Chains A and B, each alone.
Chain A
Amino acid sequence: MAGILSYGAYVPPTRLAFATVGGRPAKEGGPEKAVAWNDEDAVSMAVSAAVNCLRGLDRATVDAVMFASTTYPFAEKQGAAFLARALDLPRSVRSVDFSGSLRAGTSALRAAADAVAAGSARRVLVVASDCRTAAPGTPLETNVGDAAVAFLVGDADPIATLDASHAVADEIVDVWRTAGDRFIHTWEDRFVVQEGYLPGIVEAVAGLLEKTGTSPDDYAKLCLYAPDARSHGGAARKLRVDAARLQDPLFGRLGNAGCAFALLQLAHALEDASPGERLLAAAYGDGAEVLAFTTSEHLEKLEPRRSVSWHLARRRGVKSYDRYLKARNLQLGEYEPPRDQGLSATIHFRERDEDVSFVAQKCNACGAVQFPHQRVCETCFAKDGFARQRLSDRTGRVLTYTFDFFFPTPDPPTVVTICEIDGARVHLQLVNCAPEDVALDMPVEFELRRIHQSGGRPNYYWKATPVPEAG
C-alpha cells in the first residue's frame, strides 16, 4: 500500500519577534515567526527540506518529483525540474509542479500516492514550500511564516500508509493573490472564517470521517491548516476534537506556512508517533483536502530526521524590523533594481552541474577532486579524464575565512570562506554562523541559497553552514 517512506522539513533559522515588528525589545520566549532571509525562498527551502528527507537514502531510485508552492518565483519555468537538478536526481525523473492553492501540498502528496498505487511511479519525492509575504504593518504580517516540508512516497515498507482521502472544491474569494501580486489579500476576516475556512475544513474532515467510519478520537493527531490560531481553535471545536489530539500548529513560533502548513504539522506529528497510530492532515484553500494515515512498525526503523523539532531549536532573532524589511526587499530604494539581462542563460546551462547540483570532478589519473569543472587537472595536469563527484551531501572544513563588510546584505558582515570538500577547494559564503563562532578547520555542510537577483531572476548557488552538533 502506498504511503510515506521518509520525511524532512526546513524552517529558516531566522525568527522575527512580534515585539520587533512593533518596535519593542524582543523578550526571550515571546511570540515570533520564521522568516526566509534574503538568500532564501520557496526554492532554496524546498531543496533543504528534500535533502533532509533524503538524508541517508538512495537518491538514484527517486523516479518522480512533485513540487507544491504558491510562491515559486517563475510563472513559466518548472520548479520540480530545478529541484531534481539541485538534488542530482536522475534525468529520467518525472517532474510536476502544483500551485494556485494553499492545498497544493496535500494535493501533491495525494497525487504521489495515487501514482504509486497506479504503478506509474515507484518512489515520489513530494516537496511543499511557501514563502508568502504579507504587506508590512498589516495584521496578517505576524500570522504568516515560511517553511518547507518533504516526503518520500512509495509502497515498499512505508512508515505510514495513506488510508483515505477526501476533498471539497469551493468557489470563494476569501484569500488571494492575482498574478504579479506581491502581498496576500483577504476579504473581511469574519467573512473569511465564517463562510470560507470553517465550513470548508469542517465539511472535508467530516466527509473523511464518514467515509472511513472513524471519529476524531480514533486519531492520535489531527493536523489542521488554519489561517490563524483563533480559527484553528474554532475548527477544532466544530469538529469536537479533543485538544490533546490537535497537533500544535505552532502559531507564535513558526506561523502559517501556506501550502506547506498542514504537511509540516504532519511531519512534526510523525516525529513523536508510535506504530499503529492514525494521523490526519487537512489543508484549506478553495475548498479543502484531507488525508488519513496509519503509522507502521517501519516508523521506528527510520533514522531520526531533521524535521520540525530540529528546526525549532535552531533559531536566531532578527535584530530590527528594518533589517527584516531590507532582507525581504520591502524597503523603498532610491532606484528600482536594475532590469538587466542577467546571467547568460547559456553559461547557466553549461554550469548547471556545478552551480545547481554542486557536483565536482575527480581526476581518473591522480584521484584529486576539484571544483568547478576544468579540463586539465589542478594536481597532475592530466587532460579530460574526470568522474563526477557530488559535493552537496558531503561535509567539508573551513580552510580560511574573512568577514566581508562590503558585500551587499541586510546584516553584514558576510562570512566568506575557502572550504575543503573531499580535497577540492571551494570559495563559499558561510551562513548560520556569527563571525565570532567561525574557526579554522570547523566542519561544514552545504545548503542551496539564493545568491543574487541578477536579471531580476533568482539565481541560486550553494553556501556552507556549520555541521550541527547532533543530527
Chain B
Amino acid sequence: MGLDAIRDKAAIVGVGCCKFGENWDQSPSDMIVDAAYQAYADAGIEKPQEEIDAVFCGSLYSQKGPHETSDALKLWKPVTEVSNYCATGTDAFRCGVMAIACGLYDTVLVVGYDKPKDRGVSGPSVMMNQVRDLPQTPAGWFSICASRYFEKYGASREDLARVAIKNHHNGTLAPNSFLKREITLDDYMKARIISWPFGLYDCAAQTDGAAAVVLTRAELAKSRRDDPVVVKGVTVFAGPNPQKDPSMDFLAWKPTVAAARDAFEMSGVTADDVDVAQVHDCFSLTELLTYEDLGFCEKGSAKEHIADGAFELGGRLPVNTDGGLKSFGHPTGATGVRMIYENVLQLQGRAEKRQVPDPEIALSHNIGGHPTACGIAILGRA
C-alpha cells in the first residue's frame, strides 16, 4: 500500500454540469437535479435509486448538510457532505474515489454545489465575526503575494491581464459558462481596483451552480461506456494559515506545492505529462503562481510563458479551457467537480470548440481558504 494505492481503481462514467450563473429562479435542489440527471444520462443510469450505492457531496454555504442532496435526488443512501473552502468539490470527489478504491461501493455519485446568490450580496461578503480573523476581503487574502512577487520577478498587472483575457476568451466557447464576453487590455486597465493589484477582471465571477460525476470501479467501467476516464490520483491538503507562517515567502502558495508532490507521486505522472489543466483562478495571480507551483514552468518564469501563449488554447499546455472560475463561474462547492467535468469532456474529445488535441492526462486544481487548502485530481484515458 502507498500513495499509488488508488491509481486506476476508480473510473468516471458520467458527468453533468448545470448552467452556471445568477440562477435567480433555481434552488440548490433544482441545480443538483440538473447536474445529477445529466451525469446519470451520461453514465446510462436509469434507476439511480437502485444503481447508486452512495453519495459524496460538497458545499461551502449550505446549512443543510447531506440532506440538501438526498432530498433533491430522493435517495436513501449513505450520504456524506464535506466542506473545505474552495477545495470542497475536489474533496467530495476524493471521498468518492477512496470509497470505490477500497471496494466498499460499486457506483457512487459525487455532487458539488453552491448558491451564493441567494444571500443578497454582490461578490463575497466581508465577514466580520471576529476582530482579527478577516481584516480584509478574499481578494485581499490572495493579493498579499503580489507586492513581494512583483518585486522579486518583475511581473506586473500586464501579466495578470493576459491571464484574465485568456479566461474571458475561453469562457465564450463553453456552453454552460456564466460570462461570455471577450475583454481587451484596455478594458482590464480601466476597470476599478478591488484589492491592489486586482481589478475587477482579476477576480472570479461568483455564481450559483452544481456539477456531478458518477464513479464506478474501473473493471465495471466499460459496461457503462466505451471511453471511461480513470482517476490516476487525487489528493486534498489542508495546512496552517500562511499569513502567520514564518517561512512563507509570498512567492508561492505552499498548499499547492505540497499537494502537487503527492498527486504526481500517486498518479505516476509528472507535470510534463499533463496535456490539459483546469487550475484555480479565483484571482489572476493565483493562476499565475499555480503554473509555477504545479511545475508547469520554473518559479519566476510564468510571465515569459504567459507572453508566449503557452497556456492558451493552442498553446503547449492549455489551462482553464472552459474559462475557469473567472468566466465559467465560481459556485465554491461546485468548482472542483466542474473542473473534473471539463477534463472528462477534454479526455473524451467532447469539448467542441475548445477541444485540446488528443489529450491523455488532465489535471484539475483548487486552492482555498486563506489559502490553506489545496485539492488536485489527475485523470487519464482508460
A355 at the interface (CB under 8 A from B): yes
A378, B246: Cβ atoms closer than 8 Å: yes
B196, A435: Cβ atoms closer than 8 Å: yes
**Given contacts A402-B146, A418-B243, A440-B148, is CB(A454)–CB(B129) below 8 Å?**
yes
**Given contacts A343-B130, A355-B132, is CB(A402)–CB(B246) below 8 Å?**
no
Q: Chain B residues with Cβ under 8 A from A390's Cβ?
A: none
The smallest beta-carbon distance between B213 and chain A, in angstroms, is 34
B126, A406: Cβ atoms closer than 8 Å: yes
The smallest beta-carbon distance between A411 and chain B, in angstroms, is 14
CA–CA, A425 and B370, complex, Å? 14
Chain B 176-200, CB-CB to A under 8 Å as 1, else 0, gives 0000000000000000111111000
Q: Chain B residues with Cβ under 8 A from A371's Cβ?
A: 244
**Given contacts A355-B132, A423-B246, is CB(A418)–CB(B144) below 8 Å?**
yes
Q: Chain A residues with Cβ under 8 A from B197's Cβ?
A: 402
A332 at the interface (CB under 8 A from B): no
B1 at the interface (CB under 8 A from A): no
B144, A406: Cβ atoms closer than 8 Å: no
Q: Chain A residues with Cβ under 8 A from B243's Cβ?
A: 418, 425, 427
CB < 8 Å: which of A405, A407, A425, A435 contacts B246? A425
In A300-316, the 8 Å CB interface with B consists of: none
The smallest beta-carbon distance between B241 and chain A, in angstroms, is 9
CB < 8 Å: which of A343, A379, A413 contacts B131? A343
Q: Chain B residues with Cβ under 8 A from A452's Cβ?
A: 128, 131
A440, B151: Cβ atoms closer than 8 Å: yes
CB < 8 Å: which of B123, B136, B244, B247 contacts A416? B136
B49 at the interface (CB under 8 A from A): no
B70 at the interface (CB under 8 A from A): no
B246, A424: Cβ atoms closer than 8 Å: yes
A425, B244: Cβ atoms closer than 8 Å: yes
B23 at the interface (CB under 8 A from A): no
B143 at the interface (CB under 8 A from A): yes
B140, A404: Cβ atoms closer than 8 Å: yes
A294 at the interface (CB under 8 A from B): no
In A169-191, the 8 Å CB interface with B consists of: none
Chain B 17-45, CB-CB to A under 8 Å as 1, else 0, gives 00000000000000000000000000000
Q: Chain A residues with Cβ under 8 A from B248's Cβ?
A: 425
B351 at the interface (CB under 8 A from A): no
Chain B 147-180, CB-CB to A under 8 Å as 1, else 0, gives 1100100000000000000000000000000000
The B contact surface, by secondary structure, is loop
Chain B 283-327, CB-CB to A under 8 Å as 1, else 0, gives 000000000000000000000000000000000000000000000
B144, A378: Cβ atoms closer than 8 Å: no
- In this complex, what residue of A is CB-closest to B240? A378
A404, B244: Cβ atoms closer than 8 Å: no
**Given contacts A400-B144, A403-B195, is CB(A408)–CB(B244) below 8 Å?**
no
**Given contacts A413-B196, A418-B243, is CB(A402)–CB(B131) below 8 Å?**
no
A372, B143: Cβ atoms closer than 8 Å: no
**Given contacts A402-B140, A454-B129, is CB(A427)–CB(B135) below 8 Å?**
yes
B196, A403: Cβ atoms closer than 8 Å: yes
Q: Chain B residues with Cβ under 8 A from A418's Cβ?
A: 144, 243, 250
CA–CA, A347 and B132, complex, Å? 12
CA–CA, A403 and B147, complex, Å? 11
The smallest beta-carbon distance between B244 and chain A, in angstroms, is 4
CA–CA, A404 and B143, complex, Å? 9
A405, B192: Cβ atoms closer than 8 Å: yes
CB < 8 Å: which of B131, B147, B246, B247 contacts A440? B147
Q: How large is the interface on A (under 10, 10 to 19, 20 to 34, 35 or more residues)?
A: 35 or more
CA–CA, A379 and B194, complex, Å? 34
A461 at the interface (CB under 8 A from B): yes
Q: Chain B residues with Cβ under 8 A from A408's Cβ?
A: 126
CA–CA, A440 and B144, complex, Å? 11
- In this complex, what residue of A is CB-closest to B151? A440
B137 at the interface (CB under 8 A from A): yes
A401, B131: Cβ atoms closer than 8 Å: no
CA–CA, A463 and B137, complex, Å? 16
B362 at the interface (CB under 8 A from A): no
Q: Chain A residues with Cβ under 8 A from B143's Cβ?
A: 402
- In this complex, what residue of A is CB-closest to B193? A405
B139 at the interface (CB under 8 A from A): yes
B245 at the interface (CB under 8 A from A): yes
A402, B132: Cβ atoms closer than 8 Å: no
- In this complex, what residue of A is CB-closest to B243? A427
A168 at the interface (CB under 8 A from B): no
The smallest beta-carbon distance between A422 and chain B, in angstroms, is 11
**Given contacts A452-B131, A454-B128, is CB(A406)–CB(B246) below 8 Å?**
no
A406, B131: Cβ atoms closer than 8 Å: no
A69 at the interface (CB under 8 A from B): no
CA–CA, A416 and B370, complex, Å? 14
CA–CA, A418 and B143, complex, Å? 11
**Given contacts A402-B196, A435-B196, is CB(A354)–CB(B246) below 8 Å?**
no
The smallest beta-carbon distance between B126 and chain A, in angstroms, is 6
CB < 8 Å: which of A347, A355, A425, A461 contacts B245? A425
The smallest beta-carbon distance between B155 and chain A, in angstroms, is 14
B132, A378: Cβ atoms closer than 8 Å: no
In A417-443, the 8 Å CB interface with B consists of: 418, 423-429, 435, 440
A106 at the interface (CB under 8 A from B): no
Q: Chain A residues with Cβ under 8 A from B135's Cβ?
A: 407, 414, 416, 427-429, 451, 461
The smallest beta-carbon distance between B288 and chain A, in angstroms, is 16
Q: Chain A residues with Cβ under 8 A from B129's Cβ?
A: 343, 454
B145, A400: Cβ atoms closer than 8 Å: yes
B193, A413: Cβ atoms closer than 8 Å: yes
A354, B196: Cβ atoms closer than 8 Å: no
The smallest beta-carbon distance between B121 and chain A, in angstroms, is 11
A405, B130: Cβ atoms closer than 8 Å: no
B130, A347: Cβ atoms closer than 8 Å: yes
CA–CA, A88 and B143, complex, Å? 33
The smallest beta-carbon distance between B89 and chain A, in angstroms, is 25
CA–CA, A441 and B360, complex, Å? 46
**Given contacts A355-B131, A408-B126, is CB(A378)–CB(B245) below 8 Å?**
yes
**Given contacts A406-B195, A413-B196, is CB(A401)–CB(B130) below 8 Å?**
no
Q: Chain B residues with Cβ under 8 A from A165's Cβ?
A: none
A134 at the interface (CB under 8 A from B): no
In A450-470, the 8 Å CB interface with B consists of: 451-452, 454, 459-461
Q: List 23 A-B contacts (CB under 8 A).
A: A351-B130, A354-B132, A371-B244, A378-B245, A401-B147, A402-B143, A402-B144, A402-B195, A402-B197, A403-B195, A404-B140, A405-B193, A406-B194, A407-B137, A407-B140, A413-B195, A416-B140, A418-B250, A424-B246, A425-B248, A427-B244, A451-B128, A451-B132
| A residues at B contact (CB < 8 Å) | 343, 347, 351, 354-355, 368, 370-372, 378-379, 399-408, 413-414, 416, 418, 423-429, 435, 440, 451-452, 454, 459-461
The 9 residue pairs across chains A and B that have the minimum distance between CB atoms? A403-B196, A402-B143, A461-B131, A416-B136, A406-B137, A425-B244, A404-B195, A404-B140, A404-B136
Taking A400-B250, A402-B195 as given, write out 9 further A-B residue pairs in contact, using a Cβ cutoff of 8 Å, ordered by the A residue number: A355-B132, A402-B197, A404-B137, A404-B139, A406-B123, A414-B136, A416-B135, A416-B144, A429-B136
